[in-house]
Structure 1
Amino acid sequence: MITKKRIIILSILAATCFALASTRPAERYFEIAKNLDIFATLFKEVNALYVDEINPNKLVRTGIDAMLTSLDPYTNYIPEDEVEDFRTINTGQYGGIGAITREIGNKTIVTMLMEGYGAQRGGLKIGDEVVKIDDVELSKLSREESGQLMKGQVGTPVSLTVKRMGADKLIRLEFKREKIKLNNVPYYGMVGKDIGYIQLTDFTPDAAKEVRNALIILKDQGAKAAILDLRGNPGGLLIEAVNITNLFLPKGKLVVSTKGKIPENNLNYETLNAPVDTEIPVGVLINRGSASASEIVAGTLQDYDRGVIIGEKSYGKGLVQVSRPLSYNSQLKVTTAKYYTPTGRCIQVLDYTHRREDGSVGSIPDSLKKSFKTATGRTVFDGGGIDPDIKTEAHEAHVLTQVLFEKGFIFDFAAQYTFKHAEAVDPKTFTLSDEEYQQFVVWMKDKNYSYKSYLEYELQQFTEEAHKEKYYTDLKPQLEQIQARIADSKKNELNLYKDEIKMLLEEEIASHYHLEKGGIEAGFKYDDDIRKATELLHNTAQYKKLLNLQ
């Protein structure tokens, strides 16, 4: 057993050995061999002599993860039992029935159905509680185990036994697993009479094809301008980012360059195809969750002044990863290069190359950031993500709202609402009346949703410091008065944060009737970024002025 483990360790470390400092070849290979041998003999001795029994797999995994984390957060080891999930993330495909479940309390609840797949066709409904999968009771399984039961080889049968609201008996439903493809574009449609909206959430295979099809359809429907929503998009395949920018840029334009230690990783990616439209005004929405391939698209369109970027500063991930196969069906995802937008800027915000003495990582200092000029002469900067042309403020949901969502109260009320109201609502115009919201407030009276607000955490820390500094006795009356006022305010908190709670309720109710598209459309009326984008795209003079096109 030790021999087999040693082989695994040597194989994995060999795959990452190029992370060692570069020296003359003979010295470098000696250092590699020496350190591999030290690691293997150390592992053998610890395994044999340590006072308690150890789990060799767990110990090696801890060592591998710590080693790779010292490089950057994106260089990861994927063992065999996690490879399938890794493939799903990268390809957007898996074998299943197209149902999304969530743990609410101690129950596994169907919270969304993917349109057109077996779960929807076979009669599963949002709000169903899954009691059994293939006669295996979910109450006896972990979340991970139940998830594995739902997925499986394409073409294999699977049965679900569910408890449904209003039904007297359990319902058994039969399905056949099929290839599920997660859409990169979960929604596209018109916002207003002449502006097309495309939401892009991933860059898995066919992302560019999906955006292209959406753009063509929206233009046929009369779109005179387009909004490309990249908010919360973590990125994915670089080539899909190249092909998406190609929809708006002519053939032969540089989109992105990559530069790494190995010459083979120094590449230029250009647009290769005819565009869909090089003239239509474009607004690109980004936020702090827009990363990697999202930033390539936003940064490239910004460099060519092809669209206005709206929202928050993006995440700032300017690193490229590739996956490499390892022994025993495991894989390595490793950072091989940095990428640069057409102006030559790398938007990487954290400097993993120059860690501090304590191992921590800092942002690229302002003194090292460089300025670059876009096609029309606008100034842009590297080293800190993509700066929007029009900045908007982020709206953080209050802790109460987050708790109501996480504990399932938003979902449960929406399920009861749709059960009582059979007629579907129009998601774009639907609003809960004040009377209906008060029904929610009354419904919540016997629910346990206790939480500690940020202010209460701060007050607790202040009180602890007051004790340490011997000021507590003097400050006690004021502290107790503040605590009392906070407690009094929390009695009316459901009305105090009515607007954001009501928004979530409306989105959830709309999604129960119209699936994912309904929830997206119900949120339009609350979306300040979309509102600002539509206002700008309707104002041709301001749009051109922002891009120096006049």
Structure 2
Amino acid sequence: MMRIDTRHTYIWGGWVVAALVGLLVGFGMARSQTDADVRKSIQIWSAAFEEVVNTYVDPVDAQDFMEVGLQAMLSELDPYTAYISEDERATVEALTQGRYIGVGAQVERRGRHVVVESVVQGSTAEQQGLSIGDVVTHIDGASVEDWSIHRVRGALRGESGSTVTLSILRMGETPDTVTLDRTPVELAAVPYSGFIGGVHEGMGYVRIERFTQQAAHEVEEAIADLEDSAPVKGLVLDVRDNPGGLLEAAVDVGALFLDRGRVVVSTRGRTERSARTYRNTTTPAHPDMPLVLLVNGRSASASEILAGALQDHDRGVVLGQTTFGKGLVQVIRSLPHGASLKMTTARYYTPSGRSIQAETTDVMQETMHTAAFRTDSGRLIRERHGIEPDVPIDDNYASPLEEALQREGAFFRFASRVARTHPHPPAGGWDSDELLNEFRAWVESESIPVQTEAQRALQPIDSLVVADHPEADAQLDRLREALDASVEGQFDAHADLIVAQLLSEIRSRYLTSRGYYAATLAEDEMVQEATRLLNDERRYVTVLNP
């Protein structure tokens, strides 16, 4: 959970030193630090840094060395306190503010390739015809093969009105070059809303992708649009895979459904300033609308604030899988040269008093406790395990084979190939058996490594087997054969899930963003279970008031 603080950190003698000031003060949580302690630590660190950069046997890049050192120290604190480079700062601002200056193309690494994963409607990327599946090979003439994904994204962003030239492979094959203008790009907090199963059924659906400053406004606008079309009998809010955003945005979304005066979340840290209780101070727009919130293991931070508030006040049913468990508040403090420090300053607590932080350091474990909590209606709820759903739905966890294929970007690349060879999808839809067989043949023809974690773990053992131990070598051969057979068997054992992933990727090549969401709702088991729950009033009430 992030809160933006643009105040500059006090500089003592250099920008590396400036970053260390806040770090070393924060690291002394267990005892009081004097100014002399801080200065002494900084002097030692600075002297060692300068000595290594100037006299080490091989050249040392000062920038890289500084970043590695800072990240290593910060990692001792908690999983979320981190140094943010100038390139990465734009990504953080996009998450929290919902806007940035760039070309409007979201890129990711898929195996060895940098690919276009989505294109923002109305952006220069869309106007120039960039499509999902295009591979970016060069930016302004420089190869991106060895670039980090943060560096690639940073290169696509810049000053408004500037340009960037991309060398791409259309759908992964046809070479092309495009020059794009960098312009303001708006990222919607609510990319899709509509009715599940048709307007006549009255079941509304709103997808919240990120908690930006405009999130509550977009949610309210989406519900109003639904109500203009037909009466809304029940609402499904979807925060699956939503990593969070602004704490205040989660509070504002919760205020749409919770009674005035209700606590949404509270925060507590080392300082009095970090202790704060957030309540709904407005009249809720939808105080009685039946509500189901969809969550999964990648729902984090602001998503968990919303889930915890709705659950603790018995305002809606939380359905899905246990959430990620990120119950820490960060502020972002500016450092020199466009860099930033993202630092944890507090924990947040649900209205009943729960901390749902799951991943902790030894220092944090000492300050936490285990206790029983109850919702407003008296339901027993747990602490420190993320938000456990009221109605759990098993996740279709990826098999080792699927994970290996995802790691290499196989589903993504195959879908691009299908779209390239089939300008239009078949009228009768794709035949699942034919699609799976074609995919297996393509994986083999492309020599895509599909090693599972077990096969990868076996590789280092090879170097330990010497020539005069033929029995050990024979046992390794038998183990390799068994693992290879296991991979082959997984294609058949998990055929349905593999085909589902293929169809989802292929569908995204032919449909608009809105069309894609609408098409997937009918096949989404969690959405369908939420609809069944909302249609069964007795069951819905029983879940909240057992």
Counterparts of 1:139-178 in structure 2, within 5 Å, are: 142=147, 146-160=152-166, 162-164=168-170, 173-178=178-183
Instruction: State the partner residue of 2:282.
Output: 273
Match of 1:290 in 2: 299
Instruction: Tell me the distance in 1 between the aligned counterparts of 2:499 and 2:92.
Output: 36
Which gives a bigger RCO, structure 1 or 2 (Cα 8 Å, sep 6+)? 2
2:165–2:179 contact (8 Å) kept in structure 1: yes
Q: Which residue of 2 aligns with 1:72?
A: 78
Give the total of aligned pairs: 529
8 Å Cα contact 2:118-2:132 kept in structure 1: yes
SS in 2 for 1:16: helix
Greater CA drift, 255-264 or 480-489: 480-489
Matched, 1:545 2:542: yes
8 Å contact from structure 1 (residues 114, 515) kept in 2:
no
The yes-or-no answer on 1:39 pairing with 2:45 is: yes
Q: Deviations over 1:73-106 (max 9, x none)?
A: 2222224454334333433322222223455676
Q: CA deviation at 1:547?
A: 0.6
The answer (yes or no) to whether the contact 1:115–1:515 under 8 Å persists in 2 is no
Return the match for 1:207 from 215, 223, 248. 215
User: Which of 511, 529, 537 lines up with 2:526 in the alignment?
Assistant: 529
Shift of 1:309: 1.1
Bigger drift between 82-91 and 202-211 goes to 82-91
TM-aligned CA distance change 1:9 to 1:110, over 3 Å: closer
Any idea what SS the aligned residue of 2:14 has? helix
1:504 alignment counterpart: 501
Amino acid at match of 1:72: D
TM-score normalised according to structure 2 size: 0.84
Q: Distance in 1 between matches of 2:134 and 2:72?
A: 41
**Separation in structure 1 between the aligned mates of residue 366 and residue 509 of structure 2, nearest angstrom:** 43
Q: What is the rounded CA distance, in whole Å, between the counterparts of 1:280 and 1:113 in structure 2?
A: 34
Task: Provide the residue aligned with 1:97 in structure 2.
Answer: 103
Secondary structure of the 1:62 match is helix
* Equivalent position of 1:414 in the other structure: 415
Conservation of the 8 A alpha-carbon contact between 1:112 and 1:516: no
After superposition, residues 53-452 of structure 1 pair within 5 angstroms as 53-102=59-108, 108-130=114-136, 133=139, 136=141, 138=143, 142=147, 146-160=152-166, 162-164=168-170, 173-192=178-197, 193-222=201-230, 223-352=232-361, 354-355=362-363, 368-423=369-424, 432-452=431-451
Please tell me whether the aligned partners of residues 248 and 277 of structure 1 are also in contact (alpha carbons under 8 angstroms): yes
Per-residue CA deviations over 1:272-317 (Å, capped at 9, x if unaligned) read 3332211111111222222211111000000110011112222222
Per the alignment, residue 11 of structure 1 pairs with 18
**RMSD, aligned CA:** 3.8
Q: Which moved more, 1:46-55 or 1:534-543?
A: 46-55
Partner amino acid, structure 1, of 2:448: Y
Alpha-carbon displacement from aligned partner over 1:336-381 (angstroms, at most 9, x marks no partner):
11111111121122443x44xxxxx76998xx31112211111112
Report 1:22-37 matches (<5 A). 28-37=34-43
- Contact kept? 1:425, 1:513, Cα under 8 Å: no
Taking the aligned partners of 1:184 and 1:116, their CA distance within structure 2 comes to 16
Deviation at 1:149, TM superposition (A): 4.0
Unaligned runs of 5+ in 1: 356-360
Shift, 1:72, TM fit: 1.1
Which segment drifts farther, 197-206 or 449-458?
A: 449-458
Query: The residue matched to 2:511 in structure 1 has which SS?
Result: helix
- CA distance in structure 2 between the partners assigned to 1:379 and 1:30 by the alignment: 49
Larger radius of gyration: 1
TM-score, scaled relative to structure 1:
0.83
Deviation at 1:209, TM superposition (A): 1.7
Say yes or no: does 1:514 pair with 2:511: yes
- Structure 1 residues 291-300 or 150-159, which shifts more? 150-159
**Contact 2:203 2:235 (C-alpha < 8 Å) held by counterparts:** yes
Q: Which residue of 2 aligns with 1:453?
A: 452
| Equivalent position amino acid for 1:498 in 2 | A
For the residues of structure 2 that align with 1:505 and 1:24, how far apart are their CA atoms? 54
Q: Distance in 1 between matches of 2:371 and 2:304?
A: 18
Distance, in Å, in 2 between the alignment partners of 1:225 and 1:214 is 14
Partner of 1:358: none
